[in-house]
């Protein structure tokens, strides 16, 4: 669709002060996982996520009694807060009044088109966008029962119906997501959405992707395809894990595709019989230590001279290991040789000088 960048043809909307769509960088987001009543816990989690690179945060509002907590969280949050609402148009309306930076509603369970009218008006008055979030598991009954459409087509039809309805009411600050838990359906759905509504920003993700390892593989394979095709204005990598892992995964994916970089990229060889150091442990320790480094640098950890400074010459800094030792190098040039036990500390010391 575009030259490896978010779709420049989408309408730009703002979630708080964060631009989304219209060629803006793909926005990284996640979702809180604490009860709203734990206001302090939620504020602390938001701060940790913001420090890790989260730009927009979403929070579920299960009931009316949670709205007071939601309002307190919005007032103190360092990130714009998206209100995630299912089943109740009334809660969505109230959330718009209480500080939400965006509303997320589900067409399959919000109560029908007419129930959406006051939600649209509340969003308009608050000056905030609405995300129409369609999921494969919550399509409305009539659409779900159709046998003439694929699941991807059903998801698209559901989303399009609500987009058209919003436009009929002169409301255009709309973002769309249409997620499934399997990768082929997700990719097919978003490709079709990008064709049918090229002006609407898309929130991409694989829903219910699973625990850390499986969720990373599924999300990276599906979202990587879409992002490479220029589809996707914001993303969440959904994991059954600490939300901090979602943020790290998002940035790693965007960096791997050359779209955005925030953290170091670790380049390490897969080890072989030539290796004379414990490269696996070494690489893992470097990876752990790099978590606290907020620089978009490339760090190489190579097991032998074959995969040494030559193959990693474009790395900002790295180590090529020998027999119980390692040569620290920068941009292919040797800095110093150290014993194996000193490799990590020396490498981090040199990274601190960059």
DSSP for 179-201 reads E-SSHHHHHHHHHHHHHH-TTS-
Query: What's the CA gap between 225 and 165, in Å, rounded?
Result: 30
Q: Per the structure block, which two tokens stand in for 210? A: 């699973």
Residue 283 is assigned to a structural domain of this protein: yes
CB 11 within 8 A of CB 24: no
| Crossing angle between the packed helical segments 151-168 and 183-196, to the nearest 10 degrees | 40
Q: Can you tell me which residue has the tokens 């939601």?
A: 70
Separation of alpha carbons 222 and 205, rounded Å: 8
**Using an 8 Å Cβ cutoff, are 98 and 70 in contact?**
yes
pLDDT at 105 over 60: yes
Domain assignment of residue 341, given as a range: 265-352
| CA–CA dist 332, 12 (Å, integer) | 42
| Domain final position from 256, 282, 317 | 256
Structurally, the chain folds into a number of domains equal to: 2
Q: Under 8 Å CB-to-CB from 313, ≥6 apart: which residues?
A: 331, 332
Would you say 346 and 328 are in contact if contact means Cβ atoms under 8 Å apart?
yes
Report pLDDT digits (tens) over 210-249. Answer: 889 999 999 999 999 999 999 999 999 999 999 999 999 9
Query: What is the reported pTM?
Result: 0.89
Asked if residue 85 lies in contact with residue 111, where contact means CB atoms within 8 angstroms, the answer is no
pLDDT higher than 50, residue 95: yes
Residues 214 and 287 in one domain: no
Q: Is there a domain that residue 1 lies in?
A: no
Q: Mean pLDDT check: name the lowest of 100-109, 213-222, 299-308, 331-340.
A: 299-308
Least confident of 41-50, 259-268, 291-300, 305-314: 305-314
Does residue 145 lie in a domain region?
yes
Structure tokens at 265: 């990229």
If you average pLDDT over residues 157-184, what whole number do you get? Answer: 92
Same domain, 92 and 131: yes
104 lies in some domain? yes
Domain check: are 200 and 317 in the same one?
Answer: no
Task: Give the separation between CA 133 and CA 137, rounded to whole angstroms.
Answer: 12
Q: Report the candidate in 338, 348, 334 with the shortest Cα–Cα distance to residue 288.
A: 348
Residue 305: φ, ψ to 5°: -70, -25
* Residue 318, beta-bridge partner list: 300, 329
Asked if residue 161 is part of any domain, the answer here is yes
Q: Within 10 A of 264 (CB to CB), how many other CB atoms are there?
A: 23
Distance CA 205, CA 210 (A): 12
Q: Do both 118 and 241 map to the same domain?
A: yes
């Amino acid at each position: 669709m575009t030259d490896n960048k978010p779709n420049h043809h989408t309408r730009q909307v703002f979630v708080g002060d964060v631009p989304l769509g219209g060629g803006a960088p793909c926005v990284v987001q996640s979702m809180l996982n604490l009860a709203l009543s734990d206001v302090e816990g939620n504020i602390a989690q938001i701060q940790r996520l913001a420090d890790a690179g989260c730009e927009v945060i979403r929070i579920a509002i299960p009931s009316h009694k949670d709205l007071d907590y939601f309002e307190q969280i919005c007032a103190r949050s360092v990130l714009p807060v998206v209100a995630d609402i299912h089943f109740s148009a009334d809660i969505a309306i109230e959330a718009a009044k209480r500080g939400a930076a965006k509303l997320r509603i589900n067409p399959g369970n919000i109560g029908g088109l007419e129930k959406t009218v006051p939600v649209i008006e509340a969003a308009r008055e608050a000056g905030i966008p609405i995300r129409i979030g369609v999921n494969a598991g919550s399509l409305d009954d009539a659409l779900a029962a159709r046998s003439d459409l694929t699941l991807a087509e059903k998801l698209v039809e559901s989303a399009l119906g609500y987009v058209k309805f919003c436009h009929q009411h002169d409301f255009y600050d709309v973002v769309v997501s249409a997620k499934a838990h399997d990768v082929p359906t997700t990719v097919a759905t978003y490709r079709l959405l990008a064709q049918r509504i090229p002006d609407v920003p898309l929130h991409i993700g694989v829903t219910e992707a699973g625990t850390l390892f499986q969720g990373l593989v599924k999300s990276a394979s599906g979202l990587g395809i879409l992002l490479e095709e220029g589809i996707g204005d914001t993303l969440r990598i959904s994991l059954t894990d600490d939300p901090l892992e979602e943020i790290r995964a998002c940035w790693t994916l965007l960096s791997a595709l050359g779209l955005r970089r925030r953290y170091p990229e670790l380049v390490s060889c897969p080890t072989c019989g030539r290796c004379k150091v414990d490269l696996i442990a070494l690489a893992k320790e470097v990876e752990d230590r790099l978590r606290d480094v907020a620089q978009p640098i490339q760090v190489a950890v190579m097991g032998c001279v074959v995969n040494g400074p030559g193959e990693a010459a474009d790395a900002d800094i790295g180590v090529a290991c020998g027999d119980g030792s390692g040569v620290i190098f920068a941009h292919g040039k040797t800095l110093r040789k150290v014993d194996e036990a000193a490799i990590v500390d020396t490498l981090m010391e040199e990274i601190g000088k960059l």
